[in-house]
Amino acid sequence: MPREFHEHYDADLPTLIKRRRGMLEDAAGTPGGARSWLAFDGDGAPVAIATSGPGRDADRPDFELHHIYTVNRTHGSGLGQRLLATAIGEEPAYL
């Protein structure tokens, strides 16, 4: 992503984290809703997230990988593949 993207979101990161935490807690209590998985490094810092669940597009109500992100330093480690396998398993999904 371009530098401007990170400057914009980094400035409001505490608010974004608080909002995301609330969304994750709400989703955890909704049977059949979207679920998220977080990955942390050895120091406890978050390094990846994936969310999957029912399709959000009315034309595609099947299973959707809503998003998957990993930080640059994890690229090539296999973390993204493991997170993808956890988020969708063997179920057909679209992004």
Q: From first to last of its 95 residues, what are the pLDDT tens digits of the chain?
A: 788 877 777 777 677 777 777 776 776 676 677 888 889 999 988 899 998 888 877 777 688 898 899 999 999 999 999 999 999 988 888 88
Contact (Cβ atoms closer than 8 angstroms) between residue 48 and residue 69:
yes
Strands (E), the chain: 35-40, 46-54, 63-70
Q: What is the pTM of this model?
A: 0.67
Looking at residue 28, its pLDDT comes to 66
Looking at residue 76, its pLDDT comes to 95
